[in-house]
Amino acid sequence: MPVITMREALHDALREEMIRDQNVFLLGEEIGRFGGSYKVTEGLIDEFGPERVLSTPIAESGIMGMATGAAMTGLRPVAEIMTINFIMVGMDQLVNNAAKIPYMFGGEARTPLVVRTPSGAAHQLTAQHSQSLEVWFAYVPGMYVVAPSTPADAKGLLKSSIRNDNPILFVENLVMYNEKGEVPEGDHVVPIGKADIKREGGDLSIITYSRMVHMALEAADVLAEEGISVEVVDLRSLRPLDVETMIASVKKTNRALVLHEGWYKYGAGAEVAAQIQEHAFDYLDHPVVRISGQEVPMPYSTVLERAAQPRMEDVVERARFMLGRK
């Protein structure tokens, strides 16, 4: 299989779906000649033209409104929002309209749209550009929220998202666009709502998604040298949430550590921990542990910025504690 970056995987998924379905079109700020803020759409305007690759004004509410209306008429828009922080400007259109229209119209109108946007902290982008807000949208019935951790999953999940008839928030990560990995050739699709076991183990389950999958795998390597076998469960979707796969893992290992980049209280980890409590309580040999970002606006100082984010060392330390090794 070819080894490509996350950026290239996303680009290829968009291109292949635009070739496959003439109803697929792209819209967003600077996605045309400039190729998008992260160069995911680079070159697509030359192949498909400005009618299918629309560079919009800086108006997220307008982008979401246009995408919702286009989806209702039978098109399949893929909107790019520069960061998840900016989507708040268009949240009413996405949450109150796109997510609810199929229900309010009794299924006679659908909103098959995808919103691509990066989440999480990057490098000194500070408090208004470093948030993990995907849990806000995962809270909403009618919305899907997808968050891949590898180029293969990014391509396969984006293709599945574009073909889906529901509004989908497709969450990328600000620091993962150059992440490389093997990607199957051909029409590679990954089912939405199905978690993936990125590493099998028997002593402890780490349940996570997006960039934190790589931190979990790194911690698992460290712990393996100490004889601790860690299973890493990549959720891949926050809604729908694959409860079955993560509960099966916890029943096997009897310990669960939930890792996510967002804030601790009311975060994605809280929902995962609640599901484990409800479905696997009798199998637990230790209370569920959550590791998250600190509950502060992201600082500008590089030292404080690192301190505000989850650290691999914290994962290793808590895992040892859960197993009575420290």
- In whole angstroms, what is the distance from residue 267 CA to residue 205 CA? 19
Looking at residue 18, what is its pLDDT?
A: 98
Distances (CA, A) of 159 to 155, 172, 188, 198, 263: 6, 14, 8, 21, 30
Query: Based on the domain organization, do 230 and 164 belong to the same domain?
Result: no
CATH number at residue 244: 3.40.50.920
Q: Are residues 302 and 156 in the same domain?
A: no
Can you give the residue range of the structural domain that contains 178?
Answer: 3-182
By CB neighbour count within 10 A (0-12 exposed, 13-18 middle, 19+ buried), where does 63 fall? Answer: buried
pLDDT at 119 over 90: yes
CATH number of the domain where residue 72 is located:
3.40.50.970
Same domain, 26 and 151: yes
The domain boundary, picked from 148, 182, 216, lies at: 182
pLDDT tops 80 at residue 152: yes
Give strand pairing partners of 27.
54, 79
Is 191 contained in some domain? no
Whether 102 and 15 share a structural domain = yes
Instruction: Please report the pLDDT score of residue 151 as a whole number.
Output: 98
Are both 86 and 135 inside the same structural domain? yes
Outline where 73-141 has alpha helix (H).
91, 101-104, 134-138
- In the listed set 123, 149, 182, which residue is the last one of a domain according to the structure? 182
Angle at 27 between CA 114 and CA 186, to 5 degrees: 60
What's residue 325's pLDDT?
85
Number of folded domains that form the chain: 2
For the whole model, what pTM was predicted? 0.96
Instruction: Give the mean model confidence (pLDDT) for residues 271-280.
Output: 97
What are the tens digits of pLDDT across the range 34-80?
999 999 999 999 999 999 999 999 999 999 999 999 999 999 999 99
Q: Is position 190 within any domain?
A: no
Q: Catalytic amino acids? A: 60, 129
State which of 182, 216, 241 marks the end of a domain: 182
- Looking at the domain assignment, is residue 188 inside a domain? no
Nearest to 130 by CA among 264, 265, 306: 306
Both tokens of 65, joined, read 């409104």
